[in-house]
Amino acid sequence: MKPRVAILISGKGTNMLALLRCFAEGTLPGEVALVATDNPDAPGLMKAAEFGVKTFAFPYRSMGREAFEEALRACLTAHEVDWVLLAGFMKILTPEFVSAYSGRIVNIHPSLLPAFPGLDAIGQAWRYGVKITGVTVHLVDDQVDHGKILAQRALRIREGETLESLEARIHEVEHRLYWRTLRDLFKKKISSSERRSGA
C-alpha cells in the first residue's frame, strides 16, 4: 500500500514544494492527501493549491492549541493519512497528537540536532560561530525538534560567509535530504521504531 501523507507548513513552503515534486514525479512513493497549516497567511499554502493539492488552514492563533489539533486530527482521519510530514511547521504538537501518529511524524530541521533546536536555527548557528552546521531529518516526539534521528548532513561554514549564503546552502541540502530520507523510510531501509540502534 502506498503511504498517504499530509504535509504541515507554517511559512514559505520550499521544502513542501520539493516534496510535492518528488511525489508527483514518482521518485517518492505515495500520495499527498493534503497540505495543512496553522497560519492562513503562509505563502506555501497558495503554492500547494497551485500544485493541485487540497489545502486546509486552521488558524492556531484564533482557535487555540486544543481546537487546532482537534480540527487537524479530524481532517487527517477523514483523509486517511498514514504519515505526517512537517516542512517548516512551527508549532509544538501535544503528546496526545504525537502518540496517535507515533513513529509516523517526520520533521526536517536546519541544524545538526541536538544543537540549535527551535526558531531561527541557521541564524543561531551562524551567530554562535560554529564551523560546522547542517540539516537533520528526525521522527517527532513531544519535545521541540526532538526524536529519533533518521539522517543528517553536515555543512562547513565558510570563512566570512554571510547568513544569506548559509541559508541558501542549507535549504539546498534540505531539499535533497528530506525526500531521500523519506524514500528510505517508506522502503523500510531505515527503521521508524523509536529505539535507537544498540540502545
Asked if 134 touches ligand GAR (CB under 6 A), the answer is no
134 membership: H or E segment, kind and range:
strand 132-139
Of 38, 118, 26, 46, nearest to 72 (Cα)? 38
Work out the burial of residue 109: count CB atoms within 10 Å of its CB; fewer than 13 is exposed, 13-18 middle, 19 or more buried. Answer: buried
- In terms of phi and psi (left: phi > 0; alpha: psi -120 to 50; beta: otherwise), the region of 31 is beta
Taking the C-alpha atoms of residue 32 and residue 49, their distance in angstroms, rounded to an integer, is 12
Please report, as residue ranges, which positions from 156 to 175 form the binding site for ligand GAR (by CB under 6 A): 174
Helix, strand, or coil (residue 142): coil
Asked if 106 touches ligand GAR (CB under 6 A), the answer is no
Q: Which amino acid is at 98?
A: V
Residue 116 CB, nearest approach to ligand GAR (Å):
9
**CB closest to ligand GAR, residue no:** 88
Of 18, 182, 197, nearest to 105 (Cα)? 182
The binder of ligand GAR chosen from 3, 7, 8, 13 (CB under 6 A): 13
Taking the C-alpha atoms of residue 140 and residue 137, their distance in angstroms, rounded to an integer, is 9
Contact segment (CB under 6 A) with ligand GAR among 5-13, 62-70, 158-166, 189-197 equals 5-13
Residue 81 CB, nearest approach to ligand GAR (Å):
19
Bridge partners (DSSP) of residue 137 are: 108, 151
The site map against ligand GAR for 47-86 (x = CB under 6 A) is ----------------------------------------
Residue 74 CB, nearest approach to ligand GAR (Å):
24
Contact segment (CB under 6 A) with ligand GAR among 53-61, 105-113, 154-162, 185-193 equals 105-113
Give yes or no: 171 in active site.
no
Nearer Cβ to ligand GAR, position 109 or 169?
109
CB-based contact 27:183 (threshold 8 Å):
yes
Q: Which residues bind ligand GAR (CB under 6 A)?
A: 9, 11-16, 44, 87-88, 108-110, 121, 145, 174
